[in-house]
Each structure stands twice: as C-alpha cells, then as structure tokens.
C-alpha cells in the first residue's frame, strides 16, 4: 500500500473516529489482514478497506475517501478534504488538521496526533496503538 493512501486512511480514520486521538489507549496493537480496527479488548470496531471505504463493525459503509483526498459520508456528500498542502479541511474549508511530508498528522492546535511510517503502518501518538493496513 502506498504512503499517500496510508495517510488518507489515517486522516479519514481520525475524521470518522476522533475519539481515537483523544484516547489512544482505546486500541490495542494488532495486525489484521482484513484491516480491522480493534479496541483495547481485542474486539473489532470497524475496518478500512483498500478501496477507501470505511465500514463499521457490521460491515456497513460509514464513509470513504477518493484518490484526490476528498472525504465523503455514507450519503456520498463531501464532508472534508486532504489538500495538496497537507491540510485537512471540513466541507466549509475550516482547517481541522495538517499532514507533513514525513506523514506526521497534527491537530488544529499544532499538536502531533499520529503518523504513517515507511511501512505504511499508522501509528498513534506514543506508539501506544497502531492500525495496520495491508
């Protein structure tokens, strides 16, 4: 999986599941070939698909991201965008976060909240939790 797509996955995961950034220990480190997202107790709580679709625990799509970085809700309404300058904006253009050239993701206050490493692994702050996408 390429790094750009991994950054999109991190941003959209953050966008749809902001509690993960507030509570990074809510996830356990776990590798999964199906790209499932797990909570601390090892229970799957959703998944990110290689085609950009985000699904909940029951496999129901709750959003997606396209190749241009546009983020959509389940009704295919644009709700945000990953811009070429690395900023992430909502549908009105308000900056929500920023991604730098190294794959680090920062919140609107400039605090680093996660990153994408060279292997495409998504790492939340402190390395306390990782979402691995294959």
First to last CA, the chain: 6
Give the pLDDT band (50/70/90) at residue 80.
Answer: confident
pTM of the model: 0.50
Nearest one of 1, 2, 29, 3 to 116, comparing CA atoms: 3
In whole angstroms, give the CA distance from residue 86 to residue 14: 15
Three-state DSSP state, 127: helix
Quick: pLDDT tens for 9-64.
Answer: 556 555 544 433 333 443 334 445 555 655 545 556 666 677 878 777 777 877 88
Give the pLDDT band (50/70/90) at residue 75.
Answer: confident
Nearest one of 130, 71, 68, 125 to 96, comparing CA atoms: 71
Quick: pLDDT tens for 35-44.
Answer: 565 554 555 6
């Amino acid at each position: 999986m390429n790094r750009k797509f991994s950054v999109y996955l991190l941003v959209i995961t953050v966008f749809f599941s902001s509690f993960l950034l507030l509570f990074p220990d809510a996830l356990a480190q776990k590798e999964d070939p199906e790209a499932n997202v797990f909570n601390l107790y090892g229970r799957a709580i959703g998944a990110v698909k290689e085609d950009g679709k985000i699904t909940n625990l029951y496999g129901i799509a709750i959003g997606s991201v396209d190749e241009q970085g546009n983020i959509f809700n389940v009704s295919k309404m644009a709700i945000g965008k990953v811009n070429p300058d690395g900023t992430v904006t909502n549908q009105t253009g308000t900056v929500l976060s920023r991604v730098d050239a190294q794959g680090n993701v920062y919140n609107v206050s400039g605090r680093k909240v996660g990153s994408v490493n060279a292997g495409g692994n998504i790492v939340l702050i402190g390395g306390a939790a990782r979402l691995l996408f294959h």
